[in-house]
Amino acid sequence: MKKIYTKPQSLKDAAFRFCPGCGHSILHKLIAELIDEFGIREKTIGIAPVGCAVFAYDYFNFDVIECAHGRPPAVATALKRVMPDRFVFSYQGDGDLASIGMAEIIHAANRGENLSVVFVNNANYGMTGGQMAPTTPKGMKTSTTPYGRRPEKEGYTMMVSEIIAQLQGAVFVSRTALDGIKGVKQTKRMIKKAFQYQLENRGFSFVEVLSPCPTDWGISPSEAFNYVKDSMEQVFKPGILKDLYDE
């Protein structure tokens, strides 16, 4: 019998405005499904910053706070400490989290705040024209590195998950990729674990998701998924980098 798709209750009845082939729409659906599965919609607060993530409040059917560029971990920390019974997660892009927000995420992780972070890495500033981000791989062309990123000029690629995993306050750090059906399923499993750990009061969880950005990469959606698999995953290796409660 053919399975009938039912829209998650945690998604509003609104059409996504993301570019064709963008990973954000997939991630929004996965997060909404998990919020429904855990039955926590009424106590969930999402935190989103400047960037493509700024549209989150248009799609999620629960409370979402928009905050200044790079500041979701600080806002999430305040909310969780004042209302520890709420489920609080931040949803951030690489231009936001790994650049202006790097100090915020490092210190939230180092403090071991009981939060869940979804880090969307498409290796560029997606909303503002595809400029180089801290996570842009060596040799990748962007609007500000037309000849490809050169370490001697623009510095090395920032390996955020590896940095977070070194901090004592982080209990779970993983990296997944939206590179096909298998990758989407694995991404949902990793986000589910990050959410579960917060609900169990275990501490700071971090899930990096390699995500396609065909518009700013200048390629088709199908080519973008292949680029994630064939190029990005060679730099950013998917897998669990840290799990203090693996059973």
- How many angstroms separate the CA atoms of 16 and 240, rounded? 30
The pLDDT mean for the chain works out to 95
**Banded pLDDT at 247 (limits 50, 70, 90):** low
Angle between helices 102-111 and 72-82 (to 10 degrees): 30
Which pLDDT score, from 0 to 100, does residue 137 have?
95
pLDDT at 6: 82
Share of the chain above pLDDT 90, in %: 90
In the predicted structure, residue 5 carries a pLDDT above the cut 80: no
Over residues 36-86, the pLDDT tens digits come to: 999 999 999 999 998 888 889 899 999 999 999 999 999 999 999 999 999
pLDDT in tens, 104-161: 999 999 999 999 999 999 999 988 888 999 999 999 999 999 999 999 999 999 999 9
pLDDT band at 2 (very low <50, low <70, confident <90, very high): low
Within 10 A of 139 (CB to CB), how many other CB atoms are there?
14
Do residues 67 and 47 lie in contact, with contact meaning Cβ atoms separated by under 8 Å?
yes
Q: Is the pTM of this model over 0.75?
A: yes
Any idea which residue has 């949803």 for tokens? 91
Instruction: Judge whether residue 19 has pLDDT over 70.
Output: yes
Q: What is the per-residue pLDDT for 58?
A: 93
Could you say which of 3.90.1150.60, 3.30.70.141, 3.40.50.970, 1.25.40.10 is the CATH number of the domain covering 24-243? 3.40.50.970
pLDDT in tens, 168-200: 999 999 999 999 999 999 999 999 999 999 999
Angle between helices 24-38 and 181-199 (to 10 degrees): 40
DSSP letter for 149, please.
-
Helix (H) or strand (E) holding 165: helix 160-165
pLDDT at 3 over 80: no
pLDDT of residue 127: 83
Residues 193-219, mean pLDDT to the nearest whole number: 97
Query: What is the C-alpha separation between 205 and 75, in angstroms, rounded?
Result: 16
Residue pair 117/190 in contact (Cβ under 8 Å)? The answer is no
**What was the pLDDT predicted at 129?**
85
What is the phi/psi pair of residue 233, to 5°?
-70, -15
Q: What is the pLDDT of residue 24?
A: 95
Quick one: which of 240, 41, 218 has its CA closest to 142? 218
Q: How far apart are CA 179 and CA 185, in angstroms?
A: 10
- Measured in degrees and rounded to the nearest 5, phi and psi for residue 168 equal -65, -30
Q: What's at 115, amino acid-wise?
A: L
What residue spans define the domains of the chain?
24-243
- Do 19 and 215 touch, CB atoms closer than 8 A? yes
* DSSP state, residue 136: P
